[in-house]
Amino acid sequence: MGSKQQNLYRSTVANSQYFSNTDVAGASHVSPSTRRQAAAVIPLSDADSAGLNVLRVVACFMVIFLHVAAVGFHDFIPGWWASNVYDSVLRSCVPLFLMITGALLLRKEEGLWSFFTRRFSRVVPPFLFWSFSYLSWRHWQGTLSIEWYRWPLTILEGPTAHHLWYLYALLGIYAAIPFLRKIYLHATLSERYAFLLLWAVASTWQLAESAQEPPSPLVDIYQFSFFAGLIGYVFLGAVIADLLGRLQRQRIGFLLLFILSSALTAISTYALSTSSGVPNTLMYSFQSPFVMAAGISLFVLLTRIGQYFQKTPTKWLQQLSGATLGIYGIHVFVLEILHTRWINGELLPAPWLSIPIFSLVVFIVSAAVILIVRRASWLRGII
């Protein structure tokens, strides 16, 4: 959407807001928050929408890459530095998914019932399908000793595979979005910045307290934990989406910020690990300010790529983007099978090269399986 179209859109929204808030005598009683909303929420251009598809696919690949790299992190072995560097570069993968959610869902009005029925109908079936699938997989492997009739309770109690924690988190985040949306739409830009500042401070503070022995409870005592956690990334994604045009002009700066934040994550992880004598994952946390900075940088940089798909929209990109939840769900199956069959569960040789190659293979196999399965339309809502 060009600048003229965006200006026309703002004018149309502003006029509609005026007439809907004018009484019979013609007296305007438009609230300041309504005026700010009409001026602040900028519709995504076709290039930005394509950029979000690119971002979703890249974030999905980053998750797989991260899980492959993590195999060699937990012991100080010759390939440890490769795992540490790759881990540090890839840590913003899940925050990117949440920022996409914010960019798409916080910046529009929607009825409460409509939102819940649409969103939960999209996440609950995959949540149940993959949870039961991994329980079945563990049972077939002989590593699950739980009776089948207790499986539903087991699913309610927590993830049945380590990566499925994200689906549990997504249920809670979706429950909060309609209310977070009200805050976002009726806040000024400075108020949005203030919210993000409180989130960044509370999250970093909570991370620092968790490193103490025993952990300090001050964030919880003062109830700053309300601001901490993953929900801030949803709000962050909406703010960045409204500023994309301006931010994308600073591509070099964001590239340097991404490199710096990733390097600081790797260096601080090395320092903490050597001081404690065991690999330490504290700075890999999504609450780390370095991970936050990396997520912001990648969001701006990768959405910019969407301009290359604006004039010639690619159907394969849309299909691959739509399949990312299924790819996320199945990739641990694929990773475990290939890891066991190819190298008997051993560490990957020549890790600087083999980790990205193996990650790409897992991604391609996972994507191929999901895209084939999704050719059956009735399965698209499940996988």
Report the percentage of the chain scoring pLDDT > 70: 87
Q: Which residues contact 84 (CB under 8 A, 6 or more apart)?
A: 73, 266, 269, 270
Closest CA relative to residue 87, chosen from 112, 71, 70, 110: 70
Same domain, yes or no: 12 and 74: no
Angle, alpha carbons 180-15-195 (nearest 5°):
20
The 10s digit of each residue's pLDDT in 339-355 is 887 766 667 788 999 99
Same domain, yes or no: 81 and 220: yes
Q: Is the pLDDT of residue 36 over 60?
A: no
Same domain, yes or no: 221 and 193: yes
How many alpha carbons fall within 13 Å on the CB side of residue 48? 22
Total of domains in the chain: 2
Beta-strand runs (E) in 23-169? none
Its domain, for residue 349, covers: 41-379
Same domain, yes or no: 7 and 97: no
Same domain, yes or no: 4 and 74: no
Same domain, yes or no: 274 and 339: yes
DSSP label of 226: G
Q: What pLDDT score does 345 carry? A: 61
Name the residue type at position 263: A
Same domain, yes or no: 33 and 45: no
Same domain, yes or no: 32 and 94: no
Q: Is the pLDDT of residue 216 over 80?
A: no
pLDDT higher for 62 or 348?
62
Same domain, yes or no: 36 and 47: no
The 10s digit of each residue's pLDDT in 125-152 is 999 999 999 999 999 988 888 888 999 9
Same domain, yes or no: 220 and 124: yes
Residue with tokens 């798409």: 104
Q: What is the mean pLDDT of the chain?
A: 87
Same domain, yes or no: 48 and 102: yes
Same domain, yes or no: 2 and 66: no
